[in-house]
A and B are shown apart, each in its own frame.
Chain A
Amino acid sequence: MSILSNIKSTSVFTLCLLSTFCLAEPTEQSTVDNGDGTFTYTQKITASSSSPHYIAPNGYGFDEYSWFSEDYGWQHSFSSFNNSNYQIQSAILLIKGWDVDSEPSHGENGEYDGIAVDGVDLDPGLLQGTNNTWSETYFDVPLSSINDDGLINVFLDIDMNHNENYWATTLEFSLLTITYMETSNLPPYQPEVSYTPNTVTSVSDDLVVTITGPTPADPDGDSVTYTYRWYVDVGQGYFVDDTFAGKSEHTGNTVPSSETIFGERWRVTITPTDSNGLIGPSTTVTFPSLGDSDDDGVLDVDDAYPLDPLRAFIARSPVSGEYTLAFEDLWPQKGDYDLNDLVLHYYFERITDSENKVKQINFNAEFVSRGAAKANGFALSFDGFNSSDVDSASITQSGVTESLDPESGHSGELVFVVVNNLHTLMPASGGYEFFNTMPGDVKVSKNVSFSFSFKNAVDSSVLGTAPYNPFIFSTYNRGIEVHLPHNPPTDLADQSKLGTQDDDSSSGSGRYYVTSDNLPWALNITSRWKHPFERVDVTSAYPEITPWAESAGSTNQTWFSAPTVINCWQCQ
């Protein structure tokens, strides 16, 4: 051992006395003088290491077969991290494991054990190994994880693609190797790069990364060279070294298109090295997925919004045609049950992202009839959300699109007034007091479309399903609301009216807007329904509604398709 090595060992020992670094020991730790002005520091963590480097979990960890729920971590240290005369030439983490079944042939069903340092996932994104063999995976350790505090906290996430026992692995050791030199020379700057293609990528494009700066590339004016480490995700869901994925080894700034396949993702890490062998911070570039222009994980061919990473899928409800909302407006009194005080045909569109969360809701309605003398409005409530959740909202009527703010005064519910006064939308004319409720009164229905998007996409199970919570309200007495049966009133409803007159609501039991005989004031009908004429009881217009309702829906399920034609509007 050289004198200098002895000095190094002594300094480590001294530091042990002054800090927590050596309160316990890794299994092995040494610094070797390479004789050329450089030194190599190694530190190995094994099952024999002790706190704070490693605390063996009970029943798993190093030298134990460990499963998906038995993730664990350990800590490397480099006590000379803050010596300004030490500059790093390389920093490598080598992990040796047994039976790492991460062969690309497994697709997304293999054993993928991720390694993170100081909370940042490393590249390659998993331990690279094969069935029933020992394997070694090399990771470039980010300099920032060394230089910040000298502690390199490593975490192993076992079998990331399963949430049950499928794959297990055993680690023998984790070896940190840092080569550094004692010099006043400074490392090069982090490279600035451009790359092509940087938006839409096809399999006919070469992948090229180009160094664009900075100038100078090194604070001492040293010449700088760059190394390129290429990774690819061939369908495993994680990046691995190109060679591990069966590709050629790429060491330059280009991957030719002949090496790429539809559906792959590519990534490259560029590390600068100056003429003294010092390395600087690296830069990583991830190319857009081949065939996934917005890089949201959904291939363009499956993506309804291939250039919008916030949107991927659209679901129409109903899938074709329209459904009908029909309201009586005399609540809490029973109405005349012609169910035409407001009739509208509608469909919703629910737009979700690649994680199936709802980003946007579209509502398209055709307001067909107004059989009410009273001025009513129509609104939609999305229970469980607030106006602060809204990114933007707009409404389109008669070809004019305007922004629309949520109605104020609500908490824990997001309410949009789609139409404030149905008389304005559907005015009386032609000698008819109402709108499309009497024989001979045939006016063009009114189309209104409404759309809003959430700031952050929301869980569809919280949002619920169409038609959400639609309701009418009295334009000049906002507290009067009429909802579909068992849909709750909003905060602006006059709660004192609940359970009065003919209404048998009981908010404590979630019972709303039904009579004591369970009759509703509004219906959502799974058809483009033709409503009864004015003051024609719905049972006269649709006789099968009676056995349908009294049988709890077990018979006459298509009652809405069997009208008495002379009793309903436009049935003949």
Chain B
Amino acid sequence: MAVPSVLASTPAAPLPTTSGGSPGAELVQLLTPEGERVSHPDYDIDLSDDEYRELYRDLVLVRRIDVEATALQRQGELGIWAALLGQEAAQVGSGRAMRAKDFAFPTYREHGVAWCKGVDPLKLLGLFRGASNGGWDPQEKRFNLYTIVIGSQTLHATGYAMGITKDGAVGTDDGEAAIAYFGDGASSQGDVNEAFVWASVYNAPVVFFCQNNQWGISTPTDHQSRIPLYRRAQGFGFPGVRVDGNDVLASYAVTRKALDDARTGQGPTLIEAFTYRMGAHTTSDDPSRYRLASDLEAWKLKDPLERMKSFLYKQQLVDSSFFDQLTADADELAARIRKGCLEMPDPDPLSIFDDVYDEMTPLLEEQRATHEAYLAGFSDGHH
């Protein structure tokens, strides 16, 4: 066992309890990979049969969105796509744990959370197609625009949560909360650590939801941390918990408790959803260059959809008509997304000037007018 050295150019051998790889005994789980329902002393839920079915339905539809978008990228209709394959349970579980007023601050991979917040998947595709840099009204959806610079949104969530406190909308069961999504790579960012400091000092009603999908593009989590990420919270002065991110029930239970703690004035929680990025970082990435196919095979056995499906069967909550209907719904959703993507218009080139400022500047008015006149010189209005 090598002694950790600050001089080592690569991280020393993993500590017994690791930031990546195997999750360890501290993992909160309510559903085993085989679909067996297990209990946990601190986190339990009692959902109706319909709610169980709805969670599974969400998982299936979200995966279908993701698969369709990946296909559209391969066919040249999207510039790039950041797949969430494998992370459906972490996103649907946490997304469904939110109340309508709770405000989510996503990265660029939170397609499942967007789904739960009622954002049309086509709006997400518009961003990856290059038709838009945003696409929805964050206030209306209580879902901020995707944030691409890693970790920046954790500070926005924390500031928003400070505003909840200033509004007096915290401290009772009617309180509000914010939730910041980020990943294992982002945990190294200064902004994320500053957000932890701020949230702790101001006791802000914010939940930090870290999807540890084991990879920051090609960099494994043990290059980001020598301790499990959830344990970072202790140093900042608030609780941290590691949940099985491929278990939609546990992800739901842990997030719901953390949000309730936040809204009732108990302050922030760091949730580490231990999961796996089964696809590439984005469609531009090639994971075969840096990870073993056997790792992926091992994680396929923990697939978030399969275990929920097994649970539904074992509990006799579903029959074949349920799956037939779900398949038909997923097909219809995919067809709508495909059609909407293919028909999506490019933005008007002159629209790029319009919303740079709330009060447009003379310089932009001049540039807009000049470019408009230039374009008008072409017979079809385009060059």
A in complex with B: no
The chain A residues found within 8 Å of chain B, CB to CB, are none
The chain B residues found within 8 Å of chain A, CB to CB, are none
